[in-house]
Structure 1
Amino acid sequence: MTKQMHLAAHFPGVNNTTVWADPRSRSQIDFSSFTHLARTAERGRFDFFFLAEGLRLREHKGRIHDLDVVGRPESLTVLGALAAVTEHLGLAATVNATFNEPYELARRFASLDHLSGGRAAWNVVTSFDAFTGENFRRGGYLDRADRYTRAAEFVATARELWDSWTPDGTPRPFAHQGQHFSISGEFTVPRSPQGHPVVIQAGDSGEGREFAASTADIVFTRHGTLEAGREFYADVKSRLARYGRRPEDLKIMPGVTVVLGDTDAEAQEKAADIRRRQISPQNAIVALEQIWGRDLSAYDPDGPLPEIDPDPDSELVKGRVKVGDPFTVAAKWRALSEAKGLSIRQTVIETSGRQSFIGTPASVAAQLTEFVAADAADGFILVPHLTPGGLDDFVDHVVPLLQERGVFRTEYSGPTLRSHLGLPTPVRKG
């Protein structure tokens, strides 16, 4: 049987993905924006709709970073509302495992799973800094290794709670004693229609890959080439056996962008224009300052990279994950800039591009099919550059071609997100 492709829609909510200056760009908060994108995804028979999350507004130079999205509704609230206006589409929320507690979060996801008829998913993320922790009573932050151990125990504890009702609908007492949690009582929500909500994880580190192999149902990743995608795919899938899992028990879905045109040349021109508008002169300097940790506002974005070294101890930027050792990144950017004669803005454009599929609908359908057939992915999470209409053309013009190729469904085959993804129903333990 031809390997089937999975598709999901990501609602843009962070960074400079959205081209705000486009006259078709609409609100990131109005419910009409969420319903438009979700209904478009369901019309295209997508597996799920994916919401990002952030627990604190980012700051830059001591002020709110106004080139970012400022304000974002709580994800589970939005998805609960979307459950009423969709029938089949999976509903995935990004919720933090560092500043939440298992009982309450398991209860909220179980409630969403019941309200939606078994379509809930949880993208498990962790927090990395005390800046975010200031919004919470407990405050502080966890070391990297502790963040993953807490997250793993968090998910395991949530699953114990979801399993605590008997098949005949009787609640049983639960008790969990572990390194991070010690709880007992009775769970208030019966076992949900798909057993457990689907668990999503994002991360490319060794710890992240191991966490995905042991715990996740979906990995949300990003890889810029077919070769990189195949390496990641083979590595993560090879880790599953040690946890008693099969390769098909985990779906690998990179986040990608798609740009369509009547010809490949037109699509390439549109893609270049989108990148220029995403990386404005102001955004280019901000991106540079995030690496260098210095105020570089006096530099010309169309000029060369600064010759000064980064400040590794800077707190110029707060609320953003560091991209690695600043000296290593700066050296890499300088080498690229010198080799290609790139300005600051051009360097940022070249280094910050997400994996994109660019071309006519037919060529994009062929590229997507090749990635899946080559075991570089099981499917894709599409990140549009416009809210809320950024997937309209893809659903209208690319999805029918994928269906004609026999690599994507023409109708939903079951009622739950697990049935869309071909994932097994969890066996109740205890």
Structure 2
Amino acid sequence: MTKQIHLAAHFPGVNNTTVWSDPGAGSHIEFDSFKRFAQIAERGKFDFLFLAEGLRLREQNGKIYDLDVVGRPDTFTILAALAAVTEHLGLTGTINSTFNEPYDVARQFASLDHLSGGRAAWNVVTSWDAFTGENFRRGGFLPQDQRYERARTFLQTATELWDSWSPTDLLANPDSGQFVARPDAGAYGHHDDHFDISGRFNVPSPPQGRPVIFQAGDSHDGREFAASSADAIFSRHGTLEDGKAFYEDVKGRLAKYGRRRSDLLILPAATFVLGDTDAEAQDKAHEVRRQQVSGQTAIRFLEQLWNRDLSHYDPDGPLPQEDPDLGEHTIARGRASVRRHDDILATARAWREKAEAEHLSIRELIIEVTARQNFIGSPQTIAETINDYVQQDASDGFILVPHITPDGLGPFVDRVVPLLQERGVFRTDYESTTLRDNLGLRPQTEQGTVDGVAS
């Protein structure tokens, strides 16, 4: 059976993927940028807009990382404002389960779901470092083996709060015309090692029952958390073979939680570069990469692996002969990319071998090893490639990250989406008013449960 493709749009945080030197690169704090981006995505009939979140400005060599200075407004504030200027687009926010509390988060998402008419979604993430924890009252962090346990029970608690109201708990008073609640509406109590709370939840049942739940972790614990409790997983596996392996691994975990393969969508992040021809797109992609990775940025990336100050190195020269420092990582604080190298010395050795074999400078190497361009080509090539990935079960769709915001999504909407529609693999209009229905997901209450958590 031919699968339907799901598409979403990611408004990136302050980062090195945006080509800031391009005149089309807009503000990442002014509301007009978010509004234009969301309305382009909705014009393309995308499922949802996705916002990342950062709870602390990152540092490198003891200074604020130069690509992270601007920051971004609060996620809920942006999404609530976008609910007023869109009609169908889902609104997905990344909210941390390590440094927030279930009552606040459940209340905010229930409110957003009401304000948007059933379009709210939560990307549940954890935080791994004390650096971020310094911004919060606890002043610390959870060990890695506890952060997913807290996330699991956090989501369980939030679910209990959403479920504390039933659709029939809010009644119209015929005398006053006001709505009144049944006496036991919103009553809850949750008691475990992480949360000891009870009371009355003061937001009636959201239109979707519960917001759509996303998860973005790639570890074993992250995959299990997604299989047990999420509606979609935000994957970073962008190649066909890696995508197929990840897809089968995660989908294969669902049955033990009483879930169908269709109950969890797998949506990798993907960048794109369009040209009139494949050759033109390749040339453009090369230029984009050079704009994304300046000499200074290349040195910063190399320092994140080497864990040393390399500011005295020439980015157009060879890699350092000295090995990375394996001690405590103090060069790049708050950057998740530091943790993605399981064997730092092996990675450094592989980078040296590649640089020597291909005669690459530091900057040229970093351009190669940090490449994030998944789809490069003409509109026809990109439409065909995306469809192949989905039909071959490497993904259920993609979350697109343009290198120019807010208007960089426009060419994809205008030139690629019509080709997917002609193939009959992408909608020509929204099927429903709620995000859950547009994603083709069953209500959580119809799915299996684990430890009392709807999954």
The interval holding the TM-score normalised by the smaller chain is over 0.9
SS at match of 1:124: strand
Which deviates further from its counterpart, 347-356 or 42-51? 347-356
Kindly state the Cα deviation for residue 24 of structure 1 after the two structures are TM-superposed.
1.0
Q: Quote the Cα distance in structure 1 between the aligned partners of 2:28 and 2:186.
A: 42
* Runs of 4+ residues deviating >6 angstroms: none
CA offsets, 1:13-67, max 9 Å, x none?
A: 1420110000111101110000000000000000000001000001111111112
Equivalent pair of 1:53/1:95 in contact (CA under 8 Å): yes
Q: How does 1:144-293 map to 2 (within 5 A)?
A: 144-169=144-169, 170=182, 171-293=185-307
Q: How does 1:62-77 map to 2 (within 5 A)?
A: 62-77=62-77
Map of 1:336 onto structure 2: 354
Q: How does 1:104-123 map to 2 (within 5 A)?
A: 104-123=104-123
Equivalent pair of 1:221/1:255 in contact (CA under 8 Å): yes
Q: How does 1:31-180 map to 2 (within 5 A)?
A: 31-169=31-169, 170=182, 171-180=185-194
- TM-score normalized with structure 2 length: 0.92
The percentage of aligned residue pairs carrying the same residue is 64
Kindly state the Cα deviation for residue 341 of structure 1 after the two structures are TM-superposed.
2.1
User: Match for 1:83: what amino acid?
Assistant: A
Q: CA RMSD in A?
A: 1.3
Q: Quote the Cα distance in structure 1 between the aligned partners of 2:157 and 2:151.
A: 10
Structure 2: runs of 5 or more not aligned: 170-181
Map of 1:372 onto structure 2: 390
Q: Quote the Cα distance in structure 1 between the aligned partners of 2:69 and 2:212.
A: 27
Map of 2:335 onto structure 1: 320
CA offsets, 1:304-356, max 9 Å, x none?
A: 11111111224121111222242232122122222322211111111111251
Q: Quote the Cα distance in structure 1 between the aligned partners of 2:401 and 2:186.
A: 42
- TM-score normalized with structure 1 length: 0.98
Match for 2:414 among 393, 396, 416?
A: 396
User: Match for 1:318: what amino acid?
Assistant: R
Larger Rg: 2
Q: Quote the Cα distance in structure 1 between the aligned partners of 2:167 and 2:116.
A: 20
Match for 2:321 among 307, 322, 339?
A: 307
CA offsets, 1:211-265, max 9 Å, x none?
A: 1101111111112420110000000000000111100000000000011001100
Match for 1:420 among 438, 443, 449?
A: 438
SS at match of 1:219: strand
SS at match of 1:21: coil
Q: Quote the Cα distance in structure 1 between the aligned partners of 2:233 and 2:373.
A: 16
Q: Quote the Cα distance in structure 1 between the aligned partners of 2:132 and 2:416.
A: 40
Equivalent pair of 1:11/1:51 in contact (CA under 8 Å): yes
Map of 1:15 onto structure 2: 15
Equivalent pair of 1:14/1:52 in contact (CA under 8 Å): no
Equivalent pair of 1:13/1:69 in contact (CA under 8 Å): no
CA offsets, 1:254-309, max 9 Å, x none?
A: 00001100110000001111111101111000000111111101111111111111
Map of 1:29 onto structure 2: 29
Distance 1:146 1:200, change over 3 A: same
Q: Quote the Cα distance in structure 2 between the aligned partners of 1:344 and 1:172.
A: 58
Kindly state the Cα deviation for residue 145 of structure 1 after the two structures are TM-superposed.
1.5
Number of residue equivalences: 430
Equivalent pair of 1:255/1:355 in contact (CA under 8 Å): no
